[in-house]
Amino acid sequence: MLQYALLHLAGYDSVQEDDLKNFRQWQSRTPGHPENFETPGVEVTTGPLGQGIANAVGLALAEKHLAARFNKPDNEIVDHYTYTILGDGCQMEGVANEACSLAGHWGLGKLIAFYDDNHISIDGDTEIAFTENVEERFKGLGWHVIWVKNGNTGYDEIRAAIKEAKAVKDKPTLIKVTTTIGYGSPNKANSYSVHGSALGAKEVDATRKNLAWPHEPFHVPEDVKRHWSHHVQQGAALEVEWNAKFAEYEKKYKDEAAELKLIITGEPPAGWEKALPTYTPESPADATRNLSQQNLNALVKVLPGFLGGSADLASSNMTLLKMYGNFQKDTPEERNLRFGVREHGMGAICNGIAHHSPGLIPYCATFFVFTDYMRAAIRMSALSQAGVIYVMTHDSIGLGEDGPTHQPIEHLASLRAMPNVFMLRPADGNETAGAYKVAILNRNTPSIIALSRQKLPQLPGTSIEGVEKGGYIISDNSSGNNPDIILIGTGSELEIAAKAADELRKGGKAVRVVSLVSWELFDNQSDAYKESVLPSGVSARVSIEAGSTFGWEKIVGSKGKAIGIDRFGASAPAGRLYKEFGLTPEAVVAAAKFLC
């Protein structure tokens, strides 16, 4: 509610008095937790604890990076602070510690975090579960720490702290502000009962009396209005000033200005998609993680806002941008981000980067199974419409020896079930390029690209255009949209489906092979197109995918057969695992013969 009240006072049209009265109602601009896609003025969606501080690290990283690339000695066109507030609950979340450790490492001097130290969380006094020394921890994380002891009315202290924080340029600053939750309420202040519940009419009255506040509910007194209206004028003046500064910049630094404009507007440079590599069946077999790296390195040449990295697996995820060095404290103009083993922080930081400027396109990488570590951040990408690209390698039991802790099983299904996510599982080079095309074009939807550790052949029939439709035919020897059987595969198992088709065709069968690289994209196609790929009259269908069969009934129907893995994996060479788990052309052929 506080955030909405501030937006209202600060003159945002998006939050009128009626919006405040509509708090938490259907289709209001003031939902229970602020959402960036509902309310102009809200920069990131918050709610789940710890996400906000990690987003702020991403926002501050974006500023530091863009400033380093675009600022000139005579024109600092990128120059802003990132302010954030976090509470005791946020401080307890691991994701906050991950992101703050990176903020310290990167020396994000323009990040200023207010820690609302009110000693109350939902369960009551933080004494029951949170007695660590936060200041000492943050000093250990490389932050500058200031303590404002009277956060309720110590305005001068707060101003002085901000001034001090700005003066410290090589470290982020945590301003610990000790406050009383529910300040002003004579009977409920300093108790958990004001955390998530309304005060109630009686206590509201008592609070009004206590604070000597005689005004009607929702009424903003004239002097308050007048005071806040300065901000509107000040903001407008700053915008005019910045526009003039940019006009200057544009005159003097034409190329840089054009590039910065692309980043600010999010418009993709003309013809960028020509950079995507293509392949023929004669191109060498390769792991899709390697093909992914070809795409990353091709895209960074044409997309000015493209940057990213891995959670300590750059050489396994194949995510290094060869033209660039590492984004570090003293080299912030570089584009390789080194997140360390901090998957959750990585995802939430990338959300912040994506929300900083529409043309910033962050990617982040780890093993596919570790989407589990960062799932809350992935969901925030999806909900808050951040087009983060998740480069997820080692995407099945195909990773082999590392065993079941490292082998995704349920992950494809679990992410297909999440709204506003493109879950892509390319089979070879053309499909990997197609996956990146989809990911780059959809700036309001995160894409998760599942990539193989093992080598895969370049298959005849695959294409970028096919991937854009989510599902498409890669080979067919039937006529009249009426094959004897349809074999459906994704990613590394598309090759197995293709091999099984060859075998069945030798036996005289009319066989169609379909690549179902993204279920969501396929769902978005017209009924006519879907019917042309998976005709409803053909119930003989076999799917193969090295993952849970959960959800595949939708594709193969109740008469079809889904081949997959509905148990945890095992540690052994990949080839052995495929055989033991029955993921073979022979198994597909046998299932197909049973059906047609």
Binding segment for its own copies (CB under 8 A), chosen from 117-125, 215-223, 224-232, 488-496, is 117-125
| Binds its own copies by CB under 8 A, chosen from 36, 55, 121, 458 | 121
59 in contact with its own copies (CB under 8 A): no
Distance in angstroms (rounded) separating the CA atoms of residues 66 and 336: 14
Residue with tokens 């937006």: 7
Distance in angstroms (rounded) separating the CA atoms of residues 501 and 201: 72
573 in contact with its own copies (CB under 8 A): yes
379 in contact with its own copies (CB under 8 A): yes
Rounded least distance, CB 363 to its own copies, Å: 16
Binding segment for its own copies (CB under 8 A), chosen from 275-283, 410-418, 505-513, 526-534, is 410-418
21 in contact with its own copies (CB under 8 A): no
| Binds its own copies by CB under 8 A, chosen from 344, 437, 453, 499 | 344
Restricted to residues 381-400, the positions that interact with its own copies (CB under 8 A) are 382-383
Question: What region, left, alpha or beta, does residue 481 occupy, with left being phi > 0 and alpha being psi -120 to 50 degrees?
Answer: left
What is the three-class DSSP state of 175?
A: strand
Distance in angstroms (rounded) separating the CA atoms of residues 259 and 474: 39
The residues near 378 (Cβ < 8 Å, ≥ 6 apart) are: 347, 371, 390, 415, 418, 421, 446, 448
Which residue among 98, 343, 431, 493 is the active-site one?
A: 343
402 labelled as ligand-binding?
A: yes
Q: Which of 306, 325, 326, 544 is nearest to 436 (CA)?
A: 306
447 touches 387 (CB < 8 A): yes
537 in contact with its own copies (CB under 8 A): no
Q: What are phi and psi of 475, to 5 degrees?
A: -165, 155
The tokens describing 282, both together, are: 């004669």
Restricted to residues 320-339, the positions that interact with its own copies (CB under 8 A) are 326, 328, 338-339
47 labelled as ligand-binding?
A: yes
Distance in angstroms (rounded) separating the CA atoms of residues 60 and 108: 6
| Binds its own copies by CB under 8 A, chosen from 2, 73, 122, 270 | 122
Restricted to residues 431-450, the positions that interact with its own copies (CB under 8 A) are none
508 touches 483 (CB < 8 A): no
Binding segment for its own copies (CB under 8 A), chosen from 130-138, 152-160, 245-253, 294-302, is 130-138
Q: What are phi and psi of 96, to 5 degrees?
A: -65, -45
What is the three-class DSSP state of 6?
A: helix
228 exposure class (CB count in 10 Å sphere: 0-12, 13-18, 19+): middle
403 labelled as ligand-binding?
A: no
118 labelled as ligand-binding?
A: yes
Comparison of 313 and 440: residue with beta carbon closer to its own copies: 313
Torsion of CA 304, 305, 309, 314, to 10 degrees: -20
Rounded least distance, CB 51 to its own copies, Å: 9
| Binds its own copies by CB under 8 A, chosen from 8, 64, 289, 416 | 416
Distance in angstroms (rounded) separating the CA atoms of residues 309 and 361: 12
Restricted to residues 24-43, the positions that interact with its own copies (CB under 8 A) are 24-28, 31-33, 35
- Catalytic residue check, 216: no
Rounded least distance, CB 557 to its own copies, Å: 5
Size of the site for its own copies (CB under 8 A): 106
Task: Give CA 215 to chain center in angstroms.
Answer: 43
The residues near 457 (Cβ < 8 Å, ≥ 6 apart) are: 281, 285, 428, 495
Torsion of CA 103, 108, 110, 115, to 10 degrees: 20
558 in contact with its own copies (CB under 8 A): yes
Binding segment for its own copies (CB under 8 A), chosen from 13-21, 92-100, 429-437, 527-535, is 92-100
Comparison of 268 and 309: residue with beta carbon closer to its own copies: 309
Comparison of 325 and 507: residue with beta carbon closer to its own copies: 325
| Binds its own copies by CB under 8 A, chosen from 12, 42, 44, 45 | 45
Rounded least distance, CB 424 to its own copies, Å: 17
Binding segment for its own copies (CB under 8 A), chosen from 5-13, 69-77, 267-275, 409-417, is 409-417
142 touches 171 (CB < 8 A): yes
29 labelled as ligand-binding?
A: no
The residues carrying an active-site annotation are 343
Q: Which residues are annotated as a binding site for thiamine diphosphate?
A: 47-49, 89, 118, 195, 370
Q: Which residues are annotated as a binding site for Mg(2+)?
A: 88, 118, 120
